[in-house]
Chains A and B, each alone.
Chain A
């Protein structure tokens, strides 16, 4: 018996409603094709959408971390098929698993048959016969199994291994702005797809205008004749209702669409919208126009490039001195307070150098870096940088003495000695090269 155990009645309806709320949030945040994998899961088709989150691994870890932040213990898996992702997420202990493309069969061999999404009586029947893993079951002839348990076992196995398609029926909210176009004859050529994307964008922008909204995430869902879905997601940094710009963004990834035997339906949805204000453009006669670079940034972002501006951070330690901010963030106009010359290239990690120097506060007389010995002609310094105990307690007494030095050929380097050269508590008195001056 466990003392103090708190019992709560199961609330399947409440759980289902909560999962639906989560699924709608994921629809806005992650990918256009989201469905509820009842009773306790959510399935998403992330192909064509992960680039907006920096790739599959950052996306999945970010998702699990975000859910943990809300007090939900979640486990995520990305695999080739719905069936295998379902099984892997439930049967393994790791929180985040990504199965590389084409390795599903290897990954699911040792999973228990209970992860196959079969009714409990079939699972117990198979267990009575001695089947324990998916691998054993898939190596058994199908006919006797089908005779005894019906076609379900074979279908679930085929779905897991990707031999039978299993379309995900995406959830939709009532207030989602979506435009759909069905074709009497399936289309497939890139030009035709581009033409209809253009028409859909015009309709979507008209619908957005009546709501006074601009789009931050636009999703194109492609329904193929063989009953499979594909999706493209385009994200923007600011709300947009510009027809040419949206068309260009969506058409830029048209080569990722595989039309197969043809496309029978295209649907374009504005999954994430924000209020959009029309602004009066300033005449070039009055003042100089400032060019808005966000269209360019959106097109980089949709190709998965990392964009940032650098901004000062309050710190004396050089590697903590610079922080990355979003390229569309407010321009604050601060500056680095230092007036000492700084090197234009910094090494990612300071490199050990061998040095001959007079202690405690003279610049080196010679240094050896990457196997090359250099005689130092001139030097400036020291510039003392104290450790930041509020960042790491081990930096309580740490000190670095920075020197800029120049060798006979004019190469200029930024080197430092760990410690003040007198008190061993402040550092090891070893020398490092940190930056290269221009």
Chain B
């Protein structure tokens, strides 16, 4: 926030408020995406650690949660420590998470029979404090529960991600209900990056930042997570850019996993 940072009075006030709120040692730490355009829209320059974030799928993905799960996997892959993944429907395919940079040795799955147990596990994991991140696949996230989770995350400094996953597409309107989450994302699939030969290029998503506390809503067109869990920005209205050798893959230092078997996909990437 360049404007407020320039004003010493406001920044001092913010400091005082932060001190009044109290907080853990990790408070104020953020997990950045490494993309200037996205990080600039988030207060603090990234996803706040010690906070609850909410990620949902858009369109058909509201039920499947496939793109949202990969987006979350890419985020938590860049934290340190074990990841707790609470769920009721065990249909995640671990090789795909590994391809998004989340090694299977780091993820502990906790499977519950009931939705309420998932919430309890989520909160207990957040309170524990020794984990890199806690992810929970939730259908409902009531205001009270989300406030408890946010407080638990603040107390321990662990990043908590609620992966919203509905049972029917009609229920997805639930995303409009207010929760105490610090940021709220909706990830929808977009047609993949075009290749000059038949085949499927790097997957692309529309990431909508629907809500950000002390920030503004925004939307980005991004390329899916690479092997280290990093996303890349692909600019709107300029879909041929990645073919023409633009900077779309600037942040993907390592090649995506399928590159060697899809010979055409990496052909125009400039070496920097």
Interface residues of A (CB under 8 A from B): 291-293, 295-297, 299-300, 303, 305-312, 318, 321-322, 327, 331-333, 335-336, 338-348, 377-380, 404-406, 408-412, 435-438
CA distance A305 to B85 in the complex (A): 12
> Which listed residue (B68, B92, B94, B204) contacts A410, Cβ 8 A?
B204
CA distance in complex: A380, B112 (Å): 36
Contact between chains at A342 and B95 (CB < 8 Å)? yes
Q: Tell me, rounded to whole Å, the shortest Cβ–Cβ distance linking B182 to chain A.
A: 23
Report how far A335 CA is from B99 CA in the complex, Å. 10
The 19 listed contacts between A and B (C-beta, < 8 Å) are A303-B120, A310-B104, A311-B104, A322-B94, A335-B98, A336-B98, A341-B200, A341-B258, A343-B93, A344-B66, A344-B67, A344-B96, A378-B200, A406-B192, A410-B190, A410-B191, A437-B96, A438-B66, A438-B224
Name which of B2-10, B30-38, B122-130, B140-148 contacts chain A: B122-130
Q: B108 near A327 (CB under 8 angstroms)?
A: yes
For window 76-122 of B, CB contacts with A under 8 Å fall at 81-82, 84, 91-100, 103-105, 107-112, 117, 120-121
Of A307, A312, A333, the contact of B110 (CB 8 Å cutoff): A307
CB distance from A23 to the nearest CB of B (A): 32
| B70 CB–A CB distance under 8 Å | yes
CA gap between A436 and B62 in the complex, in Å: 12
Q: Closest 10 A-B residue pairs measured CB to CB?
A: A291-B130, A438-B70, A438-B67, A310-B94, A344-B96, A438-B66, A410-B191, A331-B105, A342-B96, A306-B111
**With A291-B81, A345-B92, A412-B203 as contacts: A305 and B111 at CB distance below 8 Å:** yes
B199 at the interface (CB under 8 A from A): yes
A211 and B199 CA atoms in complex are apart in Å by: 66
Give complex CA distance A312, B120 in Å. Answer: 29
CB pair B96–A300 under 8 Å, yes or no, is: no
Inter-chain contacts of B131 with A (CB < 8 A): 291, 293, 296
Q: Are A346 and B257 in contact (CB under 8 A)?
A: no
Contacts of A378 in B (CB 8 A): 192, 198-200
Q: Chain B contacts of A292 at CB under 8 A?
A: 130
Given that A307-B109, A321-B95, A412-B189 are known contacts, is A339 also in contact with B258, CB under 8 Å in the complex? yes
Residues of A within 8 A of B104 (CB): 309-312, 335
Main DSSP-derived SS at the B contact region: mixed
Bound-complex Cα distance A307 to B84 (A):
10
A406 touches B191 (CB 8 A): yes
Apart from A310-B104, A327-B108, what are 16 other A-B pairs with CB-CB below 8 Å? A292-B130, A300-B110, A303-B117, A305-B111, A307-B111, A342-B95, A344-B100, A345-B64, A345-B65, A345-B92, A378-B192, A405-B200, A406-B192, A412-B200, A438-B66, A438-B203
Contact B111 A308 (CB under 8 A): yes
A309 in contact with B121 given A411-B60, A412-B189 (CB within 8 Å): no
Q: Quick check: B128 and A438 within 8 Å, CB to CB?
A: no
Question: Are the C-beta atoms of B66 and A343 separated by less than 8 Å?
Answer: yes
**A332-B69 CB under 8 A given contacts A293-B131, A410-B189:** no
Within 8 Å of chain A (Cβ to Cβ): is B17? no
Output the nearest chain B residue to A406 by Cβ-Cβ distance: B200
For the complex, give the distance between the alpha carbons of A166 and B190 in Å. Answer: 67
A305 touches B117 (CB 8 A): yes
Chain A residue contacts of B262, Cβ below 8 A: 380
- Are B105 and A332 in contact, CB atoms less than 8 angstroms apart? yes
Instruction: Give the interface size bracket for B toward A.
Output: 35 or more
Contact for B257 among A322, A339, A344, A410, CB less than 8 A: A339
Q: Considering the chains assembled together, what is the distance between the CA atoms of A220 and B171 in angstroms? A: 45
Residues of B within 8 A of A (CB): 59-61, 64-71, 73, 81-82, 84, 91-100, 103-105, 107-112, 117, 120-121, 124-125, 128-131, 189-192, 198-200, 203-205, 224, 257-258, 260-262
**Residues of A with C-beta under 8 A to B258:** 339-341
Cβ contact within 8 Å between B71 and A379? no
The answer to whether residues A344 and B92 also contact, given A307-B110, A309-B104, A312-B104 and a CB cut-off of 8 A, is yes
- Say yes or no: B108 contacts A436, CB within 8 Å: no
* Interchain CB contact under 8 A, A438 and B69: yes
Contact present for A306 and B81 (CB under 8 Å): no
Question: Which residue from A309, A321, A405, A412 sits with its C-beta under 8 Å from B109?
Answer: A309
Shortest Cβ distance from B56 into chain A, in angstroms?
Answer: 13
Contacts of A339 in B (CB 8 A): 257-258, 260-261
Hey, which chain A residues are within 8 Å of B191, CB to CB?
Answer: 377, 406, 408-410
Q: How far is the CA of A377 from the CA of B191 in the complex (A)?
A: 9
CB-based nearest B residue for A408: B191
In the complex, what residues of A have CB within 8 A of residue B117's CB? 303, 305
B99: which A residues are within 8 A, CB to CB? 341-342
Bound-state Cα–Cα, A17 to B204, Å: 69
Q: Which residue of A lies closest to B59 (CB)?
A: A409
Bound-state Cα–Cα, A305 to B125, Å:
13
The docked-state distance in angstroms from the alpha carbon of A437 to that of B69 is: 10
Q: From residue A192, how far is it (CB to closest CB) to chain B in Å? A: 25
Q: Is the pair B224, A345 in contact by a Cβ cutoff of 8 Å?
A: no
Q: Measured between alpha carbons, how far is A345 from B130 in the docked complex, in Å?
A: 28
Q: How far is the CA of A345 from the CA of B94 in the complex (A)?
A: 9
- Pick the most buried of A291, A335, A344: most chain B CB atoms within 10 A of its CB: A344
Q: What is the distance, in angstroms, from B159's C-beta to the closest C-beta of chain A?
A: 15
Residues of A within 8 A of B68 (CB): 438
Contact A297 B108, beta carbon cutoff 8 Å: yes
A384 to chain B: closest CB distance in Å? Answer: 14
Asked whether A412 and B93 contact (CB < 8 A) given A291-B130, A305-B117, A345-B64, the answer is: no
Q: B69 contacts which chain A residues (CB < 8 A)?
A: 344-345, 438
In the complex the two chains form, what is the Cα distance from A406 to B203 in whole Å?
10
Q: Which residues in B have their C-beta under 8 angstroms from that of A312?
A: 95, 104
| B192 A305 Cβ-Cβ under 8 A | no
Please pick, from B70, B103, B108, B224, the residue contacting A307 in the complex, using a CB distance under 8 A. Answer: B108
